[in-house]
Amino acid sequence: MVNIGFGIDIGGSGIKAARVNMDDGEFVGDRIKIATPQPATPEAVAQTVAEIVRTAEWTGPVGITLPSVIRDQVAHSAANIDLSWIGVDVRELFNRHLDGREVSVLNDADAAGIAEVAFGDPRAREGSVLFLTFGTGIGSAMLVEGQLFPNTELGHIMIGRREAEHRASSAAKIRDGLSYRKWAKRVSRVLNEYERLLNPGVFIVGGGISRDHERWVPLLDVDTPVFPARLRNRAGIVGAAMAVAAHLTP
């Protein structure tokens, strides 16, 4: 029998969801995407989440990602989401909007990292790995032998006078009209700082822009091997589904 889960990835512009085959990490059926309501307050987002679950006719447990530090199922940061998320008991919020069913909420980059460990490049499971997502911000998942050290927020490390993600997210590339060559210089500077502080065995780079990895990964000037995530944009949804299947409550 196929083991199916359900994951929802909440981002600044879209909320994406799908049924996931838990044995191979592939989507079962179509991915659903709805624009994130603006302002993206907890109540508005939870209503959209409930609408997605209804549309999908899914009645089982639901895993959910947020671009936020999640400790004991409470949101503790809101860098690229509405500030009103800070201090919200996200389990209570989504429980209430999803008829009390089991939910598990975790950081978006952490979800993508555990999905890559399970279904991506085998190198993600070995040694010390820094998994990074480049999007509106820079998300990080720190992995040791495939085990997650949750809630690292390495996108907020100061590089000079600016946070890493303000310099080198893919949103910064668009905002500043940078070529891949120029943007790769900024990414290199960020990765050099991570090398200096953390000395990972490898970097794995994900997020939408990793689809174009041939255009920028070879331009990076770093000592540590860098390779693209295999799961790309699927990773958040898959990791969310995995988290609730494992009853994880970071």
Output 58 or 134, the one with its CB closest to ligand BGC. Answer: 134
Contact 121, 230 (CB under 8 A): yes
* Residue indicated by tokens 């429980």: 95
Backbone angles phi, psi at 139, to 5 degrees: -100, 155
By CB under 6 A, name the one of 5, 25, 139, 200 that touches ligand BGC.
139
The number of beta carbons lying within 10 Å of the beta carbon of residue 36 is 19
Output 68 or 233, the one with its CB closest to ligand BGC. Answer: 68
Output 22 or 164, the one with its CB closest to ligand BGC. Answer: 164
Part in contact with ligand BGC (CB under 6 A); list of ranges 24-32, 82-90, 121-129, 130-138: 130-138
Part in contact with ligand BGC (CB under 6 A); list of ranges 27-35, 94-102, 107-115, 185-193: 107-115
Cβ 158 to ligand BGC, closest distance in Å? 14
> Do strands 202-206 and 226-228 pair parallel, antiparallel, or not at all (unpaired)?
parallel
Distance CA 47, CA 100 (A): 14
* Residue indicated by tokens 């209804």: 54
Position 233 contacts ligand BGC (CB under 6 A): no
By CB under 6 A, name the one of 17, 85, 150, 153 that touches ligand BGC.
153
In three-state secondary structure terms, 182 is helix
Residue 63 DSSP label: E
Residues that bind ligand BGC (CB under 6 A): 67-68, 77, 79-80, 107-109, 133, 135, 137, 139, 153, 155, 165
